Amino acid sequence: MAVTGTGAPPDWQAVPLPWQTALWQRAGAWLQSGRLPHALLLTGVAGSGKQLFASAFAALALCRQPADGQACGQCPSCRQFAAGVHPDYHFVTIPEDKTAILVDQIRALGATLALTSLHGGRKIAVLSPADAMNSNAANSLLKTLEEPAPGTLLLLVSAQAAHLAATVRSRCQKLAMTTPSVPDALAWLNGVESRSDWPALLGIAGGGPLLALQLAPLRLVRERLDLYRMLAELRSNTRNPLQSAAELAREPLPLVLRLLQTWVMDLVCMATSGQAAPAALINADARSQLQSALPGLHLRALHAYLGRLNRAVMLAATPVNGQLLLEDLLLQWADGLQCLNAAPLAAAGG
Ligand SMILES: [Zn+2]
């Protein structure tokens, strides 16, 4: 199914997306020539469609009668794949109630992959996000990577490959997905659904069009100007930081932190360039709030605060008390980042 402007997210049959064509052809050539590595590490920014690409490539590698470098969509294998019941396809991700991919999941996968394929063809596993494997899980995967059963293909998907164990990384063939240029990404997004706020959403997403698509319907994103108003009121002491932190703690923590990051990144941009052109700002529609927030904030303190936000983002991937984290950040913000003014620049990015 192609993307048809219905506002629906694309499915695996829409792959390759426009910016994935070269990578798709490269992987497809390996498949055709029989030189397919047994493990691929698919990297790229969040929302560039890596997981979709991995699914589509798995469907192609399992398809019995591929045509023009695509899965046929008709054969028994394709029909099972589309129905989510292909016996030789396995998808491993973080369990809903956990924050990591666990060793038991990898052991079970290893045992399954060691068995003979039910269709007499390949056995394929997609691990996403692969960097979420804890160290025991990564160690367990090494055995499968070192002695793969014939016909095994492991597709590791990661937006943060640096967080993946080096021993795992070094045993995979790397496939780096290009981030589409902003005009290309906006053209694609407008083809899915015409919206005027795609530039802001794409900026908040960090350049990944599929992530921008996921963010668009979220309440906190639609009403982010309210969040920025909250930040302005905290600075003018007309709002209580602890109460605000309690309110924000009810929202998804990574999203709250990302919005705070883009707010501070815009302030840094304005503080650096004086009158930043609207196009340079992620939250160009919040320009007046940004302008009124800027007086009294030092560039050094803003950099240090951005460093703290980056650390908070990493903490948010662990079991952490989100409300305490937000209280700390909002108290610093309400205080005009006074405690960060003395911080040496060297510590700003840490
Ligand atoms: Zn097929």
25: nearest Cα among 178, 186, 190: 178
Can you give the pLDDT at residue 8? 66
| Per-10-residue mean pLDDT, the chain, length 350 | 52 90 96 94 96 96 94 95 94 92 96 82 95 95 92 95 94 96 96 93 95 94 92 90 96 94 94 74 88 88 94 88 96 86 47
Residue 276, pLDDT score? 62
To 10 degrees, the CA torsion angle through 56, 59, 60, 65?
-140
Domain 12-176 in CATH 3.40.50.300? The answer is yes
Cβ proximity of 296 and 336 under 8 Å:
yes
User: Closest Cα to residue 207, out of 241, 183, 175, 239?
Assistant: 183
- The rounded Å distance from CA 2 to ligand 1 centre is 17
Q: At residue 234, what is the residue type?
A: L
> How many Å separate Cα 268 from the centre of its chain?
24
Please give the pLDDT value at position 2: 38
Taking the centre of ligand 1 as the mean of its atom positions, its distance from the CA of residue 54, in whole angstroms, is 16
List pLDDT tens digits, range 166-209.
Answer: 999 999 999 999 999 999 999 999 999 999 999 999 999 999 99
**Cα 73 to middle of ligand 1, angstroms:** 5
Q: Residue 74 C-alpha to ligand 1 middle, in angstroms?
A: 5
pLDDT at residue 12 in the model: 81
What is the spatial distance between Cα 37 and Cα 45, in angstroms, rounded to a whole number?
Answer: 23
Fold for 219-347, please state it: Zinc Finger, Delta Prime; domain 3 (1.20.272)
Q: What is the pTM of this model?
A: 0.85
How far does Cα 292 stand from its chain's mean position? 32
Q: Report pLDDT digits (tens) over 3-49.
A: 334 456 778 888 999 999 999 999 999 999 999 999 999 999 999 99
Dihedral sign (CA 52, 58, 64, 68): positive
- How far apart are the CA of 14 and the centre of ligand 1, in A? 15
